[in-house]
Amino acid sequence: MAGTTHAHWSSRWAFIMAAVGSAVGLGNIWKFPYEANAGGGGAFVLVYLAFVFLIGTPLLVAELSLGRRGQSSPIRSMEKIAKEEGRTNWWSLVGWSGVIGSFIVISFYSIVGGWTLSYVVEAVTGGMTGITKDAAEAHFNDMVTDPINPLIWHAVFMAITVGIVLRGVEGGLEKAVTVLMPALFVLLVGLVVYSGVTGDFSAAVNFLFAPDWSKMNADVALNALGQSFFSLSLALGSIMVYGSYLTKDVKIGKAAVTIAGADSAVAIMAGLAIFPIVFQFGLTVGKEEGLVFMTLPIAFGQMTGGAVIGTLFFGLLTVAAITSSISLLEPSVSYLEETDKLDRKKATFLIGTAAFLLGSLSSLGFGVLSDVTIFGKSIIGFKSYITNNLMMPLAGMFMAIFIGWFISRKNIMDELAMEDRWFRVWYFMIKFVCPIAILIVFYNIVFGF
Ligand code: PHE
């Protein structure tokens, strides 16, 4: 009976692991290195980090505090707070956008999650041994265009996500993240050390930290902002619902800095694990999906112990994806559960099945349905555009505006219990910097220059 007793994390540590688990995902390990490469390495990394700490972290504080104050699903939390502050019920649209947006994202996130699972098996069974560039590309293309295979992996990935989520906050989410996140960290450190010893580490460090400003332009800066939102799991309801399971004794400001710091550290470590290998083997970075799925298998296929390293790498990617996908399923599950018409198990099954079906269309969009376009985009491209480029920035901006302009300052101060000077800095960012920065970016994303 969700309406009566709302669940809570059993400790601050469990919450931090869950939130870092949500933030660290395919965005860090699959997408970040590619974006960094496209944006000129160090220049992109610096701009990205500036966005994470100047805009992302204040918003993280905002979203967590809304969740904790609401103690409900994102929709009901927004409704409740708007009512308490004497504001219109329209503010609940921020919650709706999160619930619907996270549902759309899990539908295609799970497809890529399925690919990572299939690559674990590929690596374990020695399928990458001696693979050539052409064969690696052909393998990836065959896999994604096949009508059946990716759907099976998508189903397996979704089943794992559902299996964790239906066990509830303490029994499911918390148990999974407190085991998986430390494991992921150890694996990643191991891989960085391995890459550092066997790969071209100095080239990688140089690439990631020496900025080539000539590649920096407004588009790249926009990508960096979009990437910072996605990577921090912002404005999709995941952080808000995780915030709703928080108890009052946790300091949200400190937690947000820890989450943002860990997320950025993992992104950079992923770069330090991947690029030494890429440079050592003289590989070129191809299309977005290509870097980890088409390029790395070539390296794993050539190096000694490549089967083990490859298995560890794709295992790591899968673990990171799962701790994020559970946070993508949770907003809609928490909403359905709260209506008291369905218990948690049924709600999770229902949402998982619906997301599986919606996601299957995206998967088929690579093959049989590749002719289908929506506003000139592939199915997965369309879903990613409306969530990443429309719903996330808009919901993020309205969240900042709501807190900065429509909630009493005193109530926020009480909720956050921050040191005065930090509160002032944060409040200024939320009131002015975040909405204006997002507005500029949003305008450019939608209307171009
Ligand atoms: N942050 C996750 C990643 O980097 C994705 C995610 C986005 C998860 C939004 C939850 C909400 O992969």
Of 78-87, 182-191, 325-334, the range with the lowest mean pLDDT is 182-191
In a domain, residue 157? The reply is yes
The pocket around ligand 1, CB under 6 angstroms, is made up of 22-23, 25-28, 102, 230-231, 233, 236, 238, 324, 327-328
Task: List the beta bridge partners of residue 374.
Answer: 377
In a domain, residue 35? The reply is yes
Contact 186, 373 (CB under 8 A): no
- pLDDT tens-digit readout, 361-399: 988 888 888 888 888 888 887 888 888 878 998 999 999
pLDDT at residue number 440: 84
User: CA-based diameter of the chain, in Å?
Assistant: 66
Atom 6 in ligand 1: which residue has the minimum CA distance? 233
- Report the share of the chain in percent with pLDDT over 90: 65
Of 56-60, 288-292, 299-303, the range with the lowest mean pLDDT is 288-292
In a domain, residue 33? The reply is yes
In a domain, residue 68? The reply is yes
pLDDT at residue number 444: 73
Does residue 7 surpass a pLDDT of 80?
Answer: yes
In a domain, residue 416? The reply is yes
Mutate to test the pocket of ligand 1, among 228, 327, 384, 392 (most ligand atoms within 8 A of CB): 327
Question: At 448, is the pLDDT very low, low, confident or very high (cuts 50, 70, 90)?
Answer: low
| Structural domain of 230 | 12-446
pLDDT at residue number 1: 42
**Highest mean pLDDT range out of 274-283, 293-302, 322-331?**
322-331
> Mean pLDDT over residues 105-118, rounded?
96
In a domain, residue 4? The reply is no
Atom 11 in ligand 1: which residue has the minimum CA distance? 233
In a domain, residue 149? The reply is yes
For the CA of 23, the nearest atom of ligand 1: 1
Mutate to test the pocket of ligand 1, among 116, 161, 233 (most ligand atoms within 8 A of CB): 233
Does residue 2 surpass a pLDDT of 70?
Answer: no
Q: How many domains does the chain have?
A: 1
Atom 7 in ligand 1: which residue has the minimum CA distance? 233
- pLDDT tens-digit readout, 41-75: 999 999 999 999 999 999 999 999 999 999 999 99
pLDDT at residue number 79: 97
Q: What is the CATH classification number for the domain harbouring 66? A: 1.20.1740.10
Atom 10 in ligand 1: which residue has the minimum CA distance? 233
| Ligand 1 centroid distance, CA of 328 (Å) | 7
pLDDT at residue number 287: 57
For the CA of 263, the nearest atom of ligand 1: 4
In a domain, residue 426? The reply is yes
- Give the Å distances, CA to CA, from 416 to 238, 288, 325, 419: 19, 39, 28, 9
Does residue 280 surpass a pLDDT of 90?
Answer: no
| Ligand 1 centroid distance, CA of 394 (Å) | 17
